[in-house]
């Protein structure tokens, strides 16, 4: 009976160690990919603004920020490196997108409710649509 209890404890310890290793590896992957995902969002926003220069003005800011002037409002985005989040402010609205890993270990955006993963282009479309309607 003691041997069975020890074996069960050993299995639990091994499973816990494997889970901790998996979590650590996923965090390393996210830390590596998140800045590229943020950069892709910045590029997507700039490309959309360049397509519609009479509606949007993309302003150059430090690499952790973006400001876009619309006809009636300003959209500001801040990339929070440590938490892999993009926070935005538009008029009196505030929100955020998180950068997470999907099942294939690709970095994707999810909204604050964790809804299906979004590409940088899809996030850019959403944000600029909100700016246009502000």
What is the overall mean pLDDT for the chain? 89
Q: Please compute the mean of the pLDDT values over residues 22-44 and round it to a whole number.
A: 88
Q: What is the mean pLDDT of residues 90-107?
A: 91
| Cα separation, 108 vs 120, whole angstroms | 8
Report the pLDDT value the prediction gives residue 124, as an integer from 0 to 100. Answer: 96
Q: Please tell me the predicted confidence (pLDDT) of residue 88.
A: 96
What pLDDT is recorded for position 4? 79
Domain residue spans in the chain?
32-133
Fold entry, domain 32-133: Metal Transport, Frataxin; Chain A (3.30.920)
| Residue 20: predicted pLDDT | 65
The answer to whether 78 touches 64, Cβ cutoff 8 Å, is yes
Percent of the chain's residues with pLDDT above 90: 60
Per-residue burial over 66-105, b if 16 or more Cβ lie within 10 Å, else e, is bebebeebebebbbeeeebbbebebeeeeebbbbbbeeee
pLDDT (tens digit per residue) in 50-86 = 999 999 999 978 889 999 999 999 999 999 999 999 9
């Amino acid at each position: 009976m003691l041997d069975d209890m020890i074996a069960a404890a050993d299995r639990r310890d091994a499973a816990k160690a494997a889970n901790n290793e998996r979590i650590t590896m996923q965090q390393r992957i996210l830390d590596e990919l998140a800045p590229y995902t943020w950069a892709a969002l910045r590029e997507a926003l700039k490309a959309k603004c360049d397509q519609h220069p009479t509606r949007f003005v993309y302003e150059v800011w430090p690499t952790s920020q973006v400001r876009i002037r619309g006809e009636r409002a300003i959209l500001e985005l801040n990339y929070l490196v440590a938490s892999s989040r993009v926070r935005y402010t538009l008029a009196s609205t505030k929100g955020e997108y998180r950068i997470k890993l999907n099942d294939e270990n690709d970095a994707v955006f999810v909204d604050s409710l964790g809804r299906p993963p979004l590409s940088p282009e899809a996030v850019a479309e959403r944000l600029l649509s909100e700016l246009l309607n502000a």
